[in-house]
Amino acid sequence: MMTMNEFRGLFHNGLIKQNTGLVQLLGLCPLLAISNNVINALSLGLATTMVMAASSGAVSGVRNFVPNEIRIPVFVLIIAVLVTVIDLSMNAFVHPLYLVLGIFIPLITTNCIVLARADAFAAKNHPLHSVVDAIAMGLGLTLVLIVLGAIRELAGKGTLLSGIDLVFGEAAKGWVLHVLPNYHGFLLAILPPGAFLGLGLLIAANNWNKARVAKRARAAVPVAA
Amino acid sequence: MTSPIQAALRNALRTGVILFVFALIGTAMLAFTHNRTEPTITRGQLAEKRALLSQVLPAALYDNDLLASQQSVPPDDLLGTRQASALWLARRDGTFSGVVLEAVAPDGYSGDIALLIGIDANGTVTGVRVTAHHETPGLGDYIDRAKSAWIDQFTGKSLTAPEPKHWKVAKDGGAFDARAGATITPRAVVKAVKSALDYFARHRAAFVVPPPAQETEPVKEKSA
């Protein structure tokens, strides 16, 4: 089984060290497209995490039967089948959830992070570790999506959680936070350029922080400020 | 003893068989899931369509199976369509009581705006919904009922109220509100709804004709 340390290591890797959105820069297409508000971002993040956990578990389970030469086509096949099965099953059996996440499920096929994790991790590790790794990577992506979504929504519309009624029903309309009242909006943040600018700023902040930590580690005494 | 060629062939064959087995399992899983989910999904889609139609045409107006009354209409300039579109004929006690038209506003700010327009037998709009659009988020997208109630102002309007010359946005001297900063979008919608009413006026006679025998089958006849 898995020790606590391994577990923590996988999560540290997924959330921070190898964060897909900020460090590996994988799966940027859906990340940029769907991060125009917090609710969309959260929905895509969770849907991706779910698909990744399922595909990594499946790939890891069959890893000993797949010859190296054909591993990529087999993994693509497994992921495509899983995404389609999840898509159809959600549509049929949890329709309200499908109405919210449905449009994001096909988008996940454009996300190379799913295949990247299958090939780089699940193909070499135990299913349990692979599933935990996939969940950690998925949550890391979700985190970046939410932060980027919040920045864009706040700058673009002055609100947070707009569209929450699409997830939790009409009653949730009042949960939308109007952070900046009478805000006239900054359209650029919601349009595609806002995604590039926002992600660029986030990556810069992450790199700056990393450099700062490294510098502090090199200096014997902690540097003030 | 096997030669290197034989070994390579054997290896290729083995790899091919493995790939084939995976493809077979994958196909079987997909076929099974499709088989299991298809009836539920189709039912869900029909229910959604029915719900959408009832948003533009009040259920009290008709007693026939609206979905079964679907007809195909060739492309028409007044509907703004470049491909065949659908219309649904509503009947109450066997007489024509309204129609739901699919129309397109081709001159939106960014491309086509797809509309669903309900019109009753007197030529009065009973409801309009935008079913697809690419208008700017936060600016022109208020035509979407999910974003604002703007589209509701068409309900109750006809070619006589307001008069045709007032079928414009307020900024152009017409009777319809539009938000400052985004007039191209509502202009396109107003124009499309008016053309749809023109289309209705031109084709009303064809709608009123009772349906041919094979089409009456799904209609429950209440008063014979």
> Do residues B93 and B112 share a domain?
yes
Question: Confidence class of residue B222 from pLDDT cuts 50, 70 and 90?
Answer: very low
CB atoms within 10 A of CB A15: 17
Residue B220 has pLDDT above 60, yes or no: no
Residue B5: in which H helix or E strand, if any? helix B4-56
Q: Which domain holds residue B107?
A: 59-215
Same-domain check for residues B106 and B74: yes
Q: CA B185 to CA A88: how far, in whole Å?
A: 35
- Mean pLDDT, range A188-194, rounded to an integer: 86
Backbone phi, psi, residue A221, to 5°: -100, 145
**Residue B221 in domain:** no
pLDDT of residue B212: 58
pTM over 0.95: no
Residue partners of B218: CB distance under 8 A and separation at least 6 = B64, B65, B68
Distance CA A148, CA A155 (A): 11
**Residue at a domain's end among B19, B38, B56:** B56
B212 at interface of A, judged by CB pairs closer than 8 A: no
Chain A nearest C-alpha distance from B185 (Å): 17
pLDDT greater than 70 at residue B215: no
Q: Looking at the structure, do residues B26 and B72 belong to the same domain, yes or no?
A: no
Residues B32 and B112 in one domain: no
For residue A33, give how far its alpha carbon lies from the nearest alpha carbon of chain B (Å).
13
Q: Which of B22, B39, B56 is the last residue of a domain?
A: B56
Q: Nearest 10 degrees: CA dihedral of B64, B70, B76, B81?
A: 120
User: What does the DSSP 8-state code read for residue B67?
Assistant: G
Confidence of residue B216 (pLDDT cuts 50, 70, 90): very low
In a domain, A207, yes or no: yes
B119 with B182, same domain?
yes
Which residues of chain A lie closer than 8 angstroms to B148, CB-CB? none
B7 in a structural domain:
yes
- A177: helix, strand or coil: strand
* Buried/exposed code over B177-187 (b: 16+ C-beta within 10 A; e: otherwise): ebeeebbebbb
Q: Are residues B119 and B26 in the same domain?
A: no
| Ranges assigned E (strand) in A106-224 | 159-160, 177-178
Instruction: Give residue-wise pLDDT tens across range A25-61.
Output: 887 888 888 888 888 888 888 888 988 999 999 999 9
The token duo for B74 is 């060739």
Tell me which chain B residue has its CA closest to the CA of residue A78.
B26
Residue B36 in domain: yes
User: Is the Cβ pair B18, A66 closer than 8 Å?
Assistant: yes
Establish whether the linkage from the previous residue to B162 is cis, with ω within 30° of 0.
yes
Q: Report yes or no on A23 lying in a domain.
A: yes
Q: A128-142, A163-177, B158-172: which range is least confident on average?
A: A163-177
Mean pLDDT, chain A, whole residue set: 83
Residues 124-183 (B) with a CB less than 8 A from some CB of A: 136-139, 146
- A156 belongs to a structural domain: yes
Please give the average per-residue pLDDT across A205-224, as a whole number: 79
Residue B21 shares a structural domain with residue B113: no
With respect to residue A53, please indicate whether it lies within any of the assigned structural domains.
yes
* Residue A190 at interface with chain B, using a CB cutoff of 8 Å: yes
Same domain? For B29 and B114 the reply is no
Residues 6+ apart with CB under 8 A from B131: B52, B114, B115, B116
Q: State the first-to-last Cα distance of chain A, in angstroms, to the nearest integer.
A: 43
Question: Residue A139 has what pLDDT?
Answer: 92
The pLDDT confidence band at residue B224, using thresholds 50, 70 and 90, is: very low
Residues B206 and B107 in one domain: yes
Domain that holds residue A80: 8-218
Is residue A3 situated within a structural domain?
no
Residue B220 lies in a domain: no
Instruction: Please give the tally of structural domains in chain A.
Output: 1
Q: Does one domain contain both B52 and B63?
A: no
Asked if the structure places residue B222 within a domain, the reply is: no
Is the ipTM, as predicted for this complex, more than 0.95? no
Q: Mean pLDDT across the stretch B94-110?
A: 90
pLDDT at A184 over 90: no
pLDDT at site A166: 67
- Same domain membership, residue B120 and residue B28: no
pLDDT tens, position by position, A79-122? 889 888 888 888 888 777 787 777 777 777 777 888 888 888 88
- Among B56, B84, B99, where does a domain finish? B56
Taking the CB of residue B16, how many other CB atoms lie within 10 A of it?
11
Examine residue A2 and state whether it is found in any structural domain, yes or no.
no
Residue B44 lies in a domain: yes
Domains of chain B: total:
2
- Return the higher-pLDDT residue of B190 and A159: B190
Do B64 and B44 have their domain in common? no
pLDDT of amino acid B223: 46
- Alpha carbon of A157: minimum distance to chain B alpha carbons (Å): 8
Res. B1 pLDDT band, cuts 50 70 90? low
User: Phi and psi of B130, rounded to 5°?
Assistant: -90, 125
Q: Is residue A143 part of a domain?
A: yes
Query: Looking at residues A205-219, what average pLDDT do you find?
Result: 87
Domain annotation covers residue A24: yes
**Considering only CA atoms, which of A59, A61, A54, A76 is closest in space to residue A138?**
A54
Name the pLDDT band for B189 (thresholds 50, 70, 90): very high
Q: How far apart are CA B37 and CA A90, in angstroms?
A: 9
**CA–CA separation, A145 and A35 (whole Å):** 6
Average pLDDT on B65-83 reads 88
Interval B38-61: pLDDT, tens: 999 888 888 888 888 888 999 888
pLDDT of residue A135: 93
In A, which residues are within 8 Å of B137 by CB distance? 36, 190-191
Cα-trace Rg, chain A? 19
Count helices and strands in chain B by DSSP H and E runs: 3, 5
Q: Reply yes or no on whether the pLDDT at B33 is more than 90.
A: yes
DSSP A75-97: HHHHHHHHHHHHHHHHHHH-HHH
CB contact under 8 A, A89 and B33: yes
Average pLDDT for chain B:
86
Q: Judge whether B90 lies within some domain.
A: yes
